Amino acid sequence: MGGPPFSMALSTRPILDSARRSSGGPIVRFRGLLEFVRIRVRVQPIPGTSQDGGRTSTALGACLRLHEGSGGESGQFDRILDCRRFRSPAHPSAKRMESSSDPAFSLRGPTRSLTRPDPAPPSSWSSLLMSTRHLLLLLALPLLCSAVLAQAPGAHWSTTPTTTNPPLRRENPGVSDGVYMYVFGGQSGNSGGAPLNDLWRFDGVTWTEMTANGAAGSPPERDRAGITWDMALNRLVVFGGEDAAGSALGDTWHWDPITNLWSDVTPTGTSPSARKFCALAWDAVNTRVLLFGGLQGTSTHLNDTWVFDGVSWMELAPAGPLPPVRRQHVLVERPDFADVIMCGGQEAGGAGMLGDTWRWDGASWTQIATTVSPAGKVAIDAAYDQSRQRIVIAGGNPGPTGSISEFDSVTNDWVIRPLDPGIYKVTRYFMAYVPSMGKTFKVSGQALNATTPPDLTYEFQSDFVATYTMSGTACAGVAGVPTLVATTPWLDRTFSVTVANVAATEAVTMLSGVDTTSWMGVPLPWDLSAAGYPGCTLYVSPFFITDLGIGTGGAFSFAFPNDPSIYGLQFFNQAILVDTATGAAAFTGLGTGTLGVL
């Protein structure tokens, strides 16, 4: 069976007075803000009688039912107003509701067909919406058929088919410029080996060697270096590390992806001391490269903070508490939060492994209090998955662990996933999230007990990534063309959508539904020009209508449960703005959301 029933009560104030057919097409009359009705959304299974032998099963669908009475949920439903079924737009497990236009309420695909009585719809929805005696219930019905629904396909590792891979190596971080993943240098092999200085670029299919090992003009061979991408200068940045003699390095290098040339940009003035095991990241607030900590010499652990603008290094003196000294930690930029997160590392003297989490806001460090620590703390790399808003750490010490540690930027805590059979247990690997591909990639690393790991490339992402997109045409209101601004809809998270470009005199109403094919038997979209609203279009068949107030974009929010039976569900939003002074109306375009699984 699916998860327990859940519900959400919405206080709504509809603005649509009536919708009917005429020779001139759909006519919509606005009467401003009407009286309140109450809508409740419930998720629960509902039985149906199948056509193949009369067996009873459950369907994934929804019925809009009319409940007589002034409140509560007791009593009987007197009739079904409308029913919908889920269908898959692109994937067998993706579900979208479509209107049931014939008497047979069917669920196509590998599941059974269901039947139900199909009572006539009400002659006018306005009479329903304006009555305070009616309670509208939207029952979303999870399908519990094993042919379609199994465990929710959350993020996991899989092997990326490639024609070649960089030779096995370890001890440097991976990096991305937003389009490609890059691997520079490191130490060859699973154990022993020599430092390298070759540069490789990955486009999601093919690894290309950009500069060969030992090529003239390249930085000296090194491992244990700090590496990141300067987003302002569009350069790969390499600082420090350890050379073949075991000596710490203090030089700074740029690689230009346009010319494919390296440049030694070590300043003649102040620079961070020579070190290994430091961490670099792009600091978007200061538009500079950020450096923290590392190991100086053989035993001096550091906790200094530096920034580099491409020409000069500058040491900062942040106010407030500083993170403890450390090495072999990671810095990860979060572009949508305009900050950098630091986690992991080895304490001074090898006393222990750090599981703390710190945030850099461009001016100071703040420790984030978490209830869970990452499983991998040392000899790790990390990447920020922007689509899921999670920092990913795969493996690492102690161990090496096969667990996946994820810092959830919504809950500000770590989530530990169990051993993933799709990836080898390694430390000191190269990893990066590539926004253009929407995936985290991982290559090379060091395996336990000198067992050589496979020379493969791996990728990490959910089978169902949440999306929210805008389409269609909006028509302007008092404050210009309105639009929807939404979060991405994930299971076990709260989805929220607001309206932008709203005037102080405009009342905003959100239409939400699961169908864009027809409303009350009239095919969608509706061109509302004939109704006196030129350029305006109705795209969504509203299952419920929510008042967001006057003069504000408001917020329509919904907490999706962690229920694997509804992943892939597609839903739609559209907002209507009515000027309370003139009665003029504006419509947003169509917002389309698809439920993803973390």
Q: Can you give the CATH number for the domain in which 255 is found?
A: 2.120.10.80
Is residue 398 in some structural domain?
no
Is residue 416 in some structural domain?
no
Is residue 568 in some structural domain?
yes
Distance CA(513)–CA(570), nearest Å, equals 9
| pLDDT of 71 | 36
Residue pair 165/443 in contact by the 8 Å Cβ criterion: yes
Please name which of 117, 118, 66, 111 lies closest in space to residue 86, comparing C-alpha atoms: 111
Q: Specify whether 96 is located in the same domain as 142.
A: yes
Q: Specify whether 174 is located in the same domain as 101.
A: no
- What Rg, from alpha-carbon coordinates, does the chain have? 29
Q: Specify whether 276 is located in the same domain as 191.
A: yes
* pLDDT tens, N- to C-terminus, the chain (598 residues): 222 222 222 333 333 332 222 223 222 223 222 222 222 223 233 333 333 333 333 333 333 333 333 333 333 333 333 443 333 333 333 333 333 332 222 222 222 222 222 333 333 323 323 222 222 323 332 322 222 333 447 899 889 999 899 999 999 999 999 999 999 999 998 888 999 999 999 999 999 999 999 999 999 999 999 999 999 999 999 999 999 999 999 999 999 999 999 999 999 999 999 999 999 999 999 999 999 999 999 999 999 999 999 999 999 999 989 999 999 999 999 999 999 999 999 998 767 899 999 999 999 999 999 999 998 888 889 999 999 999 999 877 777 777 889 999 999 999 998 767 667 778 888 999 999 999 999 999 888 765 677 788 999 999 899 999 999 999 999 999 999 999 999 999 999 999 999 999 999 999 999 999 999 889 999 999 988 899 999 999 998 889 999 998 889 998 999 887 888 999 999 999 999 999 899 999 999 999 999 9
Q: Specify whether 172 is located in the same domain as 138.
A: no
Domain count, the chain: 2
Is residue 325 in some structural domain?
yes
Q: Specify whether 198 is located in the same domain as 324.
A: yes
| pLDDT of 422 | 62
The beta-strand segments (E) located in 375-466 are 382-385, 390-394, 404-408, 413-417, 430-434, 439-443, 457-461
Q: Specify whether 325 is located in the same domain as 249.
A: yes
DSSP code for 313: E
Q: Specify whether 219 is located in the same domain as 320.
A: yes
User: Where a domain ends, among 338, 353, 386?
Assistant: 386
End-to-end CA distance of the chain: 21
Q: Please count the CA atoms within 13 angstroms of the CA of 490 that sit on its side-chain side.
A: 18
Distance CA(350)–CA(378), nearest Å, equals 11
User: Nearest 5 degrees, angle CA 357-CA 363-CA 368?
Assistant: 20
> Phi-psi category of 554—alpha, beta or left, where left has phi over 0 and alpha has psi -120 to 50?
left
User: Where a domain ends, among 386, 413, 435?
Assistant: 386
- Distance from the Cα of residue 188 to its chain's centroid: 35
Is residue 508 in some structural domain?
yes
| pLDDT of 402 | 72
Please name which of 422, 496, 486 lies closest in space to residue 154, comparing C-alpha atoms: 422
Q: Specify whether 227 is located in the same domain as 319.
A: yes
Residue pair 185/195 in contact by the 8 Å Cβ criterion: yes
User: Where a domain ends, among 358, 386, 414?
Assistant: 386
Q: Specify whether 144 is located in the same domain as 242.
A: no
Residue pair 328/348 in contact by the 8 Å Cβ criterion: no
Q: Specify whether 147 is located in the same domain as 173.
A: no
Q: Specify whether 276 is located in the same domain as 226.
A: yes
- Domain extent, residue 190, equals 166-369+376-386
Is residue 61 in some structural domain?
yes
Is residue 198 in some structural domain?
yes
pLDDT digits (tens, 9 = 90+) for 484-499: 999 999 999 999 999 9
Q: Specify whether 261 is located in the same domain as 117.
A: no
Is residue 397 in some structural domain?
no
From residue 481, give the alpha-carbon distance in Å to each of 469, 477, 547, 579, 581: 17, 6, 19, 13, 18
In this prediction the pTM is 0.76
Distance CA(283)–CA(286), nearest Å, equals 6
